Amino acid sequence: MMRTFGRWIAGAAAVGFACLAYAYVTLPDVRPLKTANPLVTAFMELRASEAQARGLAPHRVQRWVSYRDISAELKRAVLISEDDAFWKHEGVDFEQLQESLEIDWKRGRLIRGASTITQQLAKNLYLSPSKDPIRKLRELILARRLEAELNKSRILELYLNVIEWGDGVYGVEAAAHEYFHESASALGANESALLAAAIVNPRRYNPGRPTAGLIRRQQLILRRMGAVSPPF
């Protein structure tokens, strides 16, 4: 019995190591992101494929904007909404991750997210929305690589320029024009909090026509926005 159990443990460890090695060696090189903006992301390609599968022409609006030209209010709102420990962690918030895993274990399925902004950036750039454990492992490794190679303001700049903010709307500049008819640099606190509140489900929530639920999220973010400062 003990010998069989020992072989099972050894086999499981070997499989785990093989998965880790595969996830590591097949990851993309993030170093070009220091100076080059990505032309397309995995999420953009996924949405284009989904549209084509429905017989529709892919729709994409994106206007790249530099970090210094993004409203400080928007940066604060997004940090509060998505990752208030962004300035302190190194890509992965292990306390939040442990809490998330404990809740998922109790429920018997993967539901709750605990992704940092850096993890979300890794997922948007290179991966998919899948909850596959190997995909999640790749996300964690990529997040650490991004933090090792890029400074915080560059990570946040990339994130704010590539994430979804509606059907075919990518990045804060496109979202600011789409919903408020102004540039990302001109966004005030109320508009910023609405945009940040919509990130949780950008294909459901429309900051230009906010639901009661979205407004509640906006108000919560507004009350907390003074507690964080964006990285400079």
Average pLDDT, the chain: 85
Kindly report, residue by residue over 176-214, the tens digit of the pLDDT. 999 999 999 999 999 999 999 999 999 999 999 999 999
Instruction: Say whether domain 2-26+65-84+91-227 belongs to CATH 1.10.3810.10.
Output: yes
The answer on pLDDT for 122 being more than 70 is yes
What local confidence, expressed as pLDDT, does residue 4 receive?
59
- Closest CA relative to residue 32, chosen from 125, 116, 170: 125
Please tell me the least confidently modeled range out of 129-133, 157-161, 174-178.
129-133
For the segment 132-136, the average pLDDT, to the nearest whole number, is 89
* Domain regions of the chain by residue span: 2-26+65-84+91-227
Q: In 3-state terms, what secondary structure has residue 61?
A: strand
> What pLDDT was estimated at residue 104?
43
